[in-house]
Amino acid sequence: MLEILEMAYLAMTAEALGKCIPDKSIGSILELDLAWLSKNRIKCVIFDADNTLFPHHAKKADAKVLAFLKTLSKKYRLGIASNSPNKKRISGLDAYFKSKGVKILVSKGNRRKPCPDQFDYLAKAFRSKPKECVMVGDNLFTDIAGAKLYGMKAVKVKPYDPKSEPMYFMFMRLVEHILS
């Protein structure tokens, strides 16, 4: 019996680790391949906020990121799915981006990634199927695995500014490094 449980555990772990493999890896969101999005019939692009769009806990994006998002928003629906505990800051992002001419919807999901709430909220708000969405984020375990478990494509970016992250993120980055 123990052997069967061990095999089941290993199978689940292998499947879960398989969900941590992104469809694509890039240096920053500015390298997001528009031809790849088109080829994969993507309709909406969902971004993590901290260390994907801007440094951890920043309140605004730099000019290059804003210009890229503005261009992207002309063809794709854009969303933000964030695990930031500061919901006031995250909910203020849609107004910030709107004031910069970027139409973006911030998730109202109640649970944190990798749980499907935030992905589900945005996919439904955009009237899109998961396979028509891509998650762009810097974390294998929350952004990439969460999106893949929900049925979305996933693009891994290098963290915008790893030095801006809390200390406990260093452990996760070490595990990510070992897995990649």
CATH number at residue 88: 3.40.50.1000
Q: Total domain count for the chain?
A: 1
Strand partners, 25: 156
Residue 164: both structure tokens together: 């801006």
Rg (CA), the chain: 16
The larger pLDDT score, comparing residue 119 to residue 15, is at: 119
Cis peptide before 116 (omega within 30 of 0): no
- Which 8-state DSSP code applies to residue 179? H
Beta strands 104-106 and 133-137 are unpaired
pTM value? 0.82
Q: Among residues 139, 148, 140, which one has the least CA distance to residue 116?
A: 148
**Residue 56's CB: how many other CB atoms inside 10 A?**
19
The larger pLDDT score, comparing residue 114 to residue 19, is at: 114
Q: Among residues 11, 47, 20, 26, which one has the least CA distance to residue 119?
A: 47
Residue 175: both structure tokens together: 């595990």
Please write the tens of the pLDDT for every residue from 71-124: 999 999 998 888 877 767 676 777 788 887 777 777 776 778 888 888 888 899
Domain containing residue 63: 2-179
